[in-house]
Structure 1
Amino acid sequence: MTFEIKTDRLVLKVLGPEAAPMVLSFYQRNRDIFEKYEPIIGDDFYTIAHQKKILEFEHKNILKLVMIRYWIFDKNNPTEIIGTVSYRNIVRPIYESCTIGYKMDRNHMNKGFCSEAIKATIPIISSELGIHRFEALILPDNDSSIHMVEKIGFKYEGILRDKIIINGERLDHCMYAYLANN
Protein backbone atom coordinates (compact mmCIF):
# COMPACT_ATOMS: atom_id res chain seq x y z
CA MET A 1 0.00 0.00 0.00
CA THR A 2 1.34 3.41 -0.95
CA PHE A 3 1.79 5.52 2.20
CA GLU A 4 2.99 8.75 0.56
CA ILE A 5 1.75 10.47 -2.60
CA LYS A 6 2.97 13.70 -4.17
CA THR A 7 0.96 15.93 -6.49
CA ASP A 8 1.87 19.26 -8.07
CA ARG A 9 1.06 21.17 -4.88
CA LEU A 10 0.61 18.56 -2.14
CA VAL A 11 2.20 15.81 -0.12
CA LEU A 12 -0.28 13.19 1.13
CA LYS A 13 0.92 10.77 3.78
CA VAL A 14 -0.14 8.25 6.35
CA LEU A 15 0.89 9.36 9.83
CA GLY A 16 1.66 7.42 13.00
CA PRO A 17 1.03 8.23 16.67
CA GLU A 18 4.09 10.49 16.82
CA ALA A 19 2.13 13.00 14.70
CA ALA A 20 -0.58 13.44 17.37
CA PRO A 21 0.42 17.06 18.20
CA MET A 22 0.16 18.06 14.51
CA VAL A 23 -3.19 16.27 14.11
CA LEU A 24 -4.54 17.85 17.30
CA SER A 25 -3.54 21.32 16.09
CA PHE A 26 -5.41 20.72 12.81
CA TYR A 27 -8.60 19.68 14.64
CA GLN A 28 -8.39 22.51 17.19
CA ARG A 29 -7.98 25.17 14.48
CA ASN A 30 -11.09 23.91 12.70
CA ARG A 31 -13.26 22.62 15.54
CA ASP A 32 -16.17 24.98 14.91
CA ILE A 33 -16.35 24.00 11.23
CA PHE A 34 -15.89 20.25 11.59
CA GLU A 35 -18.42 19.84 14.39
CA LYS A 36 -21.20 21.13 12.12
CA TYR A 37 -20.78 18.04 9.93
CA GLU A 38 -19.49 15.37 12.31
CA PRO A 39 -21.04 13.34 15.13
CA ILE A 40 -20.34 14.71 18.62
CA ILE A 41 -16.85 13.67 19.51
CA GLY A 42 -16.48 14.90 23.11
CA ASP A 43 -13.85 17.11 24.70
CA ASP A 44 -11.37 14.24 25.21
CA PHE A 45 -11.06 14.14 21.40
CA TYR A 46 -9.11 17.39 21.69
CA THR A 47 -6.18 15.89 23.62
CA ILE A 48 -2.85 14.52 22.42
CA ALA A 49 -3.52 11.23 24.23
CA HIS A 50 -6.79 10.71 22.35
CA GLN A 51 -5.23 11.60 18.99
CA LYS A 52 -2.43 9.09 19.64
CA LYS A 53 -5.06 6.40 20.31
CA ILE A 54 -6.89 7.24 17.09
CA LEU A 55 -3.68 7.21 15.05
CA GLU A 56 -2.69 3.84 16.57
CA PHE A 57 -6.17 2.42 15.87
CA GLU A 58 -6.11 3.70 12.29
CA HIS A 59 -2.60 2.32 11.72
CA LYS A 60 -3.76 -1.17 12.77
CA ASN A 61 -6.72 -0.90 10.40
CA ILE A 62 -4.51 0.35 7.58
CA LEU A 63 -2.32 -2.74 7.99
CA LYS A 64 -5.51 -4.87 7.76
CA LEU A 65 -6.41 -2.93 4.59
CA VAL A 66 -9.87 -1.97 5.87
CA MET A 67 -9.14 1.77 5.85
CA ILE A 68 -6.50 4.33 4.97
CA ARG A 69 -6.17 7.99 5.87
CA TYR A 70 -3.89 10.41 4.09
CA TRP A 71 -3.03 13.67 5.81
CA ILE A 72 -2.65 16.56 3.39
CA PHE A 73 0.31 18.95 3.45
CA ASP A 74 1.08 21.90 1.20
CA LYS A 75 4.49 21.27 -0.42
CA ASN A 76 5.41 24.84 0.56
CA ASN A 77 4.73 24.10 4.25
CA PRO A 78 5.39 20.39 4.94
CA THR A 79 5.05 20.71 8.73
CA GLU A 80 1.39 21.79 8.96
CA ILE A 81 -1.58 19.58 8.15
CA ILE A 82 -4.04 21.36 5.85
CA GLY A 83 -6.51 18.53 5.38
CA THR A 84 -7.24 14.84 5.30
CA VAL A 85 -8.85 12.32 2.99
CA SER A 86 -9.82 8.90 4.29
CA TYR A 87 -11.19 5.71 2.83
CA ARG A 88 -13.14 3.61 5.34
CA ASN A 89 -15.32 0.55 5.32
CA ILE A 90 -13.15 -0.98 2.61
CA VAL A 91 -14.96 -4.15 1.57
CA ARG A 92 -13.39 -6.66 -0.81
CA PRO A 93 -14.09 -8.83 -2.72
CA ILE A 94 -17.54 -8.79 -4.34
CA TYR A 95 -18.52 -5.29 -3.15
CA GLU A 96 -15.16 -3.66 -3.96
CA SER A 97 -16.37 -0.48 -2.25
CA CYS A 98 -15.49 2.04 0.42
CA THR A 99 -16.67 5.29 1.98
CA ILE A 100 -14.64 8.44 1.43
CA GLY A 101 -14.32 11.24 3.97
CA TYR A 102 -12.42 14.51 3.77
CA LYS A 103 -11.74 17.71 5.68
CA MET A 104 -9.85 20.89 4.84
CA ASP A 105 -8.37 23.55 7.07
CA ARG A 106 -10.38 26.77 7.06
CA ASN A 107 -7.47 28.69 5.51
CA HIS A 108 -7.13 26.25 2.60
CA MET A 109 -10.74 25.78 1.51
CA ASN A 110 -11.87 26.62 -2.03
CA LYS A 111 -8.35 26.35 -3.47
CA GLY A 112 -8.79 22.94 -5.08
CA PHE A 113 -6.56 21.13 -2.58
CA CYS A 114 -9.20 18.64 -1.47
CA SER A 115 -10.23 17.68 -5.00
CA GLU A 116 -6.53 17.40 -5.96
CA ALA A 117 -5.97 15.02 -3.03
CA ILE A 118 -9.01 12.90 -3.90
CA LYS A 119 -8.08 12.74 -7.59
CA ALA A 120 -4.59 11.56 -6.59
CA THR A 121 -5.70 8.93 -4.09
CA ILE A 122 -8.69 7.28 -5.82
CA PRO A 123 -6.55 5.70 -8.58
CA ILE A 124 -4.17 4.28 -5.96
CA ILE A 125 -6.98 2.87 -3.80
CA SER A 126 -8.57 1.46 -6.93
CA SER A 127 -5.44 -0.18 -8.34
CA GLU A 128 -3.81 -1.34 -5.11
CA LEU A 129 -6.94 -2.51 -3.28
CA GLY A 130 -9.24 -3.27 -6.20
CA ILE A 131 -11.88 -0.77 -5.11
CA HIS A 132 -14.41 0.09 -7.79
CA ARG A 133 -17.12 2.05 -5.92
CA PHE A 134 -16.36 5.09 -3.78
CA GLU A 135 -19.26 6.47 -1.71
CA ALA A 136 -19.55 9.94 -0.15
CA LEU A 137 -22.25 10.81 2.39
CA ILE A 138 -22.95 14.54 2.49
CA LEU A 139 -25.44 16.65 4.41
CA PRO A 140 -27.98 18.13 1.95
CA ASP A 141 -27.07 21.72 2.91
CA ASN A 142 -23.30 21.27 2.47
CA ASP A 143 -23.21 22.97 -0.93
CA SER A 144 -19.42 23.31 -1.15
CA SER A 145 -18.88 19.58 -0.53
CA ILE A 146 -21.58 18.63 -3.02
CA HIS A 147 -20.07 20.94 -5.64
CA MET A 148 -16.60 19.47 -5.09
CA VAL A 149 -17.59 15.80 -5.42
CA GLU A 150 -19.72 16.53 -8.48
CA LYS A 151 -16.76 18.34 -10.07
CA ILE A 152 -14.62 15.22 -9.52
CA GLY A 153 -17.25 12.98 -11.12
CA PHE A 154 -19.30 11.62 -8.21
CA LYS A 155 -22.97 11.09 -9.10
CA TYR A 156 -25.95 11.72 -6.85
CA GLU A 157 -27.78 8.49 -5.98
CA GLY A 158 -30.38 9.60 -3.44
CA ILE A 159 -31.12 10.43 0.18
CA LEU A 160 -30.26 8.16 3.10
CA ARG A 161 -32.89 9.07 5.67
CA ASP A 162 -31.89 9.52 9.33
CA LYS A 163 -28.38 8.28 8.51
CA ILE A 164 -26.11 9.88 11.12
CA ILE A 165 -26.66 11.59 14.49
CA ILE A 166 -25.06 15.04 14.47
CA ASN A 167 -25.51 17.41 17.42
CA GLY A 168 -28.07 15.01 18.90
CA GLU A 169 -30.27 14.93 15.81
CA ARG A 170 -30.65 12.18 13.20
CA LEU A 171 -29.96 13.79 9.86
CA ASP A 172 -30.51 12.73 6.27
CA HIS A 173 -27.44 12.45 4.05
CA CYS A 174 -27.09 12.59 0.29
CA MET A 175 -25.42 9.54 -1.23
CA TYR A 176 -22.91 10.25 -3.97
CA ALA A 177 -20.83 7.58 -5.68
CA TYR A 178 -17.85 7.46 -8.00
CA LEU A 179 -17.11 4.38 -10.09
CA ALA A 180 -13.46 3.75 -10.89
CA ASN A 181 -12.14 1.95 -13.92
CA ASN A 182 -9.63 -0.25 -12.11
Structure 2
Amino acid sequence: MALFRIGPNPESGQLLRGEGVYLRPPELRDYEAWAHLRDVSRDFLIPWEPTWPADDLTRTAFRRRVRRHQQEMEASESFAFLVFRDDDVLLGGLTLGQVRRGVVQAATLGYWIGAPHANRGFMTRAVRATIAFAFGGLRLHRVEASCLPHNEPSMRLLERVGFTREGYARAYLRINGVWEDHLLYGLVETDSIPPLRPAQP
Protein backbone atom coordinates (compact mmCIF):
# COMPACT_ATOMS: atom_id res chain seq x y z
CA MET A 1 0.00 0.00 0.00
CA ALA A 2 1.35 3.45 -0.90
CA LEU A 3 2.00 5.89 1.92
CA PHE A 4 1.90 9.62 1.22
CA ARG A 5 3.41 12.05 3.73
CA ILE A 6 2.61 15.70 3.19
CA GLY A 7 3.41 17.74 6.26
CA PRO A 8 1.78 20.88 7.60
CA ASN A 9 2.51 24.13 5.82
CA PRO A 10 2.53 27.11 8.21
CA GLU A 11 1.76 29.39 5.28
CA SER A 12 -1.42 27.52 4.34
CA GLY A 13 -3.56 29.33 6.90
CA GLN A 14 -5.70 27.55 9.47
CA LEU A 15 -4.04 24.60 11.20
CA LEU A 16 -5.93 22.56 13.80
CA ARG A 17 -4.29 20.05 16.11
CA GLY A 18 -5.84 17.12 17.95
CA GLU A 19 -4.42 14.17 19.80
CA GLY A 20 -2.29 12.33 17.25
CA VAL A 21 -3.82 14.19 14.30
CA TYR A 22 -3.78 17.59 12.65
CA LEU A 23 -6.05 19.28 10.13
CA ARG A 24 -5.25 21.86 7.47
CA PRO A 25 -6.95 23.21 4.34
CA PRO A 26 -6.34 21.16 1.16
CA GLU A 27 -3.62 22.36 -1.19
CA LEU A 28 -2.70 21.45 -4.76
CA ARG A 29 0.27 19.41 -3.50
CA ASP A 30 -2.20 17.05 -1.78
CA TYR A 31 -3.67 15.77 -5.04
CA GLU A 32 -1.83 12.45 -5.37
CA ALA A 33 -2.33 11.42 -1.73
CA TRP A 34 -5.99 12.50 -1.80
CA ALA A 35 -6.78 10.78 -5.11
CA HIS A 36 -5.05 7.58 -4.02
CA LEU A 37 -6.87 7.41 -0.69
CA ARG A 38 -10.24 8.17 -2.27
CA ASP A 39 -9.61 5.57 -4.99
CA VAL A 40 -8.66 2.72 -2.65
CA SER A 41 -11.62 3.68 -0.42
CA ARG A 42 -14.19 4.01 -3.21
CA ASP A 43 -16.34 0.98 -2.28
CA PHE A 44 -16.13 1.92 1.39
CA LEU A 45 -17.25 5.54 0.83
CA ILE A 46 -19.82 5.37 -1.98
CA PRO A 47 -22.74 4.15 0.20
CA TRP A 48 -22.42 7.25 2.41
CA GLU A 49 -21.75 10.04 -0.08
CA PRO A 50 -23.39 11.92 -2.95
CA THR A 51 -22.82 10.35 -6.37
CA TRP A 52 -19.21 10.78 -7.46
CA PRO A 53 -18.86 12.76 -10.73
CA ALA A 54 -17.14 10.86 -13.54
CA ASP A 55 -14.08 13.13 -13.24
CA ASP A 56 -14.05 13.24 -9.44
CA LEU A 57 -10.50 11.92 -8.98
CA THR A 58 -8.87 13.95 -11.75
CA ARG A 59 -6.30 16.65 -11.06
CA THR A 60 -8.52 19.24 -12.77
CA ALA A 61 -11.48 18.44 -10.51
CA PHE A 62 -9.23 18.57 -7.46
CA ARG A 63 -7.91 21.97 -8.52
CA ARG A 64 -11.49 23.26 -8.78
CA ARG A 65 -12.25 21.79 -5.37
CA VAL A 66 -9.26 23.49 -3.74
CA ARG A 67 -10.12 26.83 -5.36
CA ARG A 68 -13.73 26.60 -4.16
CA HIS A 69 -12.65 25.70 -0.63
CA GLN A 70 -10.28 28.67 -0.55
CA GLN A 71 -13.02 31.05 -1.69
CA GLU A 72 -15.49 29.71 0.86
CA MET A 73 -12.94 29.95 3.67
CA GLU A 74 -12.04 33.54 2.74
CA ALA A 75 -15.75 34.39 2.90
CA SER A 76 -16.10 32.49 6.24
CA GLU A 77 -18.87 30.41 4.66
CA SER A 78 -17.24 26.99 4.98
CA PHE A 79 -14.01 25.54 6.36
CA ALA A 80 -12.69 22.41 4.63
CA PHE A 81 -9.77 20.44 6.04
CA LEU A 82 -7.77 17.36 5.24
CA VAL A 83 -7.01 15.18 8.26
CA PHE A 84 -3.49 13.85 8.78
CA ARG A 85 -1.88 11.57 11.29
CA ASP A 86 0.99 13.22 13.19
CA ASP A 87 3.46 11.42 10.90
CA ASP A 88 1.86 13.25 7.93
CA VAL A 89 -0.13 10.32 6.50
CA LEU A 90 -3.43 11.47 5.00
CA LEU A 91 -6.43 9.95 6.81
CA GLY A 92 -9.51 11.66 5.38
CA GLY A 93 -11.35 14.96 5.19
CA LEU A 94 -13.66 17.12 7.24
CA THR A 95 -15.78 20.18 6.52
CA LEU A 96 -17.39 22.68 8.84
CA GLY A 97 -19.80 24.17 6.34
CA GLN A 98 -22.97 26.21 5.93
CA VAL A 99 -21.77 28.71 8.52
CA ARG A 100 -24.71 30.88 9.60
CA ARG A 101 -24.31 34.04 11.64
CA GLY A 102 -26.86 36.48 13.06
CA VAL A 103 -29.19 34.91 15.60
CA VAL A 104 -28.17 31.37 14.54
CA GLN A 105 -24.36 31.19 14.96
CA ALA A 106 -24.21 27.60 13.71
CA ALA A 107 -22.47 25.37 11.19
CA THR A 108 -22.84 21.86 9.76
CA LEU A 109 -20.21 19.15 10.22
CA GLY A 110 -19.37 16.55 7.59
CA TYR A 111 -16.47 14.11 7.36
CA TRP A 112 -15.02 11.06 5.60
CA ILE A 113 -12.18 8.73 6.43
CA GLY A 114 -10.19 6.43 4.18
CA ALA A 115 -10.94 2.73 4.50
CA PRO A 116 -7.42 1.79 5.71
CA HIS A 117 -7.81 4.15 8.69
CA ALA A 118 -11.43 3.55 9.72
CA ASN A 119 -12.50 2.48 13.22
CA ARG A 120 -9.21 3.51 14.84
CA GLY A 121 -10.32 6.71 16.56
CA PHE A 122 -8.66 9.14 14.17
CA MET A 123 -11.84 10.89 13.03
CA THR A 124 -13.10 11.15 16.61
CA ARG A 125 -9.97 13.14 17.44
CA ALA A 126 -10.31 15.27 14.32
CA VAL A 127 -13.93 16.08 15.12
CA ARG A 128 -13.00 17.06 18.68
CA ALA A 129 -10.34 19.46 17.34
CA THR A 130 -12.88 20.93 14.93
CA ILE A 131 -15.44 21.43 17.69
CA ALA A 132 -12.85 23.39 19.67
CA PHE A 133 -12.23 25.52 16.58
CA ALA A 134 -15.95 26.04 16.00
CA PHE A 135 -16.73 27.18 19.53
CA GLY A 136 -13.40 28.93 20.14
CA GLY A 137 -11.95 30.31 16.92
CA LEU A 138 -15.24 30.86 15.10
CA ARG A 139 -17.25 31.66 18.26
CA LEU A 140 -20.21 29.60 17.06
CA HIS A 141 -23.01 28.55 19.38
CA ARG A 142 -24.05 25.32 17.69
CA VAL A 143 -22.69 22.58 15.44
CA GLU A 144 -25.07 20.28 13.58
CA ALA A 145 -24.49 16.93 11.89
CA SER A 146 -26.51 14.18 10.24
CA CYS A 147 -26.01 10.56 9.29
CA LEU A 148 -27.88 7.69 7.69
CA PRO A 149 -29.90 5.67 10.23
CA HIS A 150 -27.90 2.53 9.44
CA ASN A 151 -24.48 4.23 9.66
CA GLU A 152 -23.70 2.95 13.13
CA PRO A 153 -20.00 3.98 13.16
CA SER A 154 -20.96 7.59 12.43
CA MET A 155 -23.70 7.52 15.06
CA ARG A 156 -21.23 6.23 17.64
CA LEU A 157 -18.68 8.87 16.70
CA LEU A 158 -21.13 11.75 17.08
CA GLU A 159 -22.48 10.50 20.38
CA ARG A 160 -18.95 9.79 21.65
CA VAL A 161 -17.95 13.44 21.25
CA GLY A 162 -21.14 14.77 22.87
CA PHE A 163 -23.69 15.28 20.08
CA THR A 164 -27.33 14.72 20.98
CA ARG A 165 -29.75 13.05 18.59
CA GLU A 166 -32.44 15.65 17.95
CA GLY A 167 -34.60 14.42 15.12
CA TYR A 168 -35.30 12.43 11.99
CA ALA A 169 -35.44 14.05 8.56
CA ARG A 170 -37.18 12.22 5.74
CA ALA A 171 -35.50 12.23 2.30
CA TYR A 172 -32.98 14.70 3.71
CA LEU A 173 -29.93 14.26 1.45
CA ARG A 174 -29.34 12.66 -1.94
CA ILE A 175 -26.83 9.90 -1.20
CA ASN A 176 -25.42 7.74 -4.00
CA GLY A 177 -28.29 8.89 -6.23
CA VAL A 178 -31.12 8.23 -3.74
CA TRP A 179 -32.94 10.64 -1.40
CA GLU A 180 -32.21 9.15 2.02
CA ASP A 181 -33.65 9.71 5.48
CA HIS A 182 -31.15 10.99 8.06
CA LEU A 183 -30.77 11.22 11.81
CA LEU A 184 -30.14 14.79 12.96
CA TYR A 185 -27.64 15.63 15.70
CA GLY A 186 -26.69 18.83 17.48
CA LEU A 187 -24.02 20.10 19.86
CA VAL A 188 -24.11 23.50 21.58
CA GLU A 189 -21.23 25.32 23.22
CA THR A 190 -22.56 24.70 26.73
CA ASP A 191 -22.74 20.90 26.29
CA SER A 192 -20.18 18.82 28.10
CA ILE A 193 -17.64 16.95 25.96
CA PRO A 194 -16.98 13.39 27.20
CA PRO A 195 -13.33 12.59 28.02
CA LEU A 196 -11.27 11.09 25.24
CA ARG A 197 -10.77 7.35 25.48
CA PRO A 198 -7.32 5.80 24.94
CA ALA A 199 -6.37 5.35 21.27
CA GLN A 200 -6.78 1.89 19.79
CA PRO A 201 -3.53 0.18 18.72
Length-normalised TM-score, structure 1: 0.92
Deviation (angstroms), 1:7: 2.7
Q: Secondary structure of the equivalent of 1:111?
A: coil
> What is the rounded CA distance, in whole Å, between the counterparts of 1:72 and 1:42 in structure 2?
23
> What is the rounded CA distance, in whole Å, between the counterparts of 1:124 and 1:164 in structure 2?
26
**Counterpart residue number, 2:14:** 3
> What is the rounded CA distance, in whole Å, between the counterparts of 2:95 and 2:182 in structure 1?
18
CA distance 1:8–1:39, change in 2 (3 Å): closer
Indicate the percent of aligned positions where both proteins have the same amino acid: 23
**Counterpart residue number, 1:90:** 99
| Aligned residues of 2:143 and 2:187 also touching (Cα < 8 A) | yes
Higher helix share: 1
**Counterpart residue number, 1:23:** 34
Instruction: Structure 1: give runs of 5+ residues left out of the alignment.
Output: none
Instruction: Structure 2: give runs of 5+ residues left out of the alignment.
Output: 1-12, 192-201
Q: Secondary structure of the equivalent of 1:114?
A: helix
Q: Secondary structure of the equivalent of 1:70?
A: strand
Length-normalised TM-score, structure 2: 0.84
What RMSD, in angstroms, separates the aligned Cα atoms of the two structures? 1.8
Deviation (angstroms), 1:97: 0.7
Q: How many residues are treated as equivalent by the alignment?
A: 180
> What is the rounded CA distance, in whole Å, between the counterparts of 2:190 and 2:136 in structure 1?
9
| Code of the aligned partner of 2:69 | E
Higher strand share: 1
Matches within 5 A, 1:41-120: 41-76=52-87, 78=88, 80-120=89-129
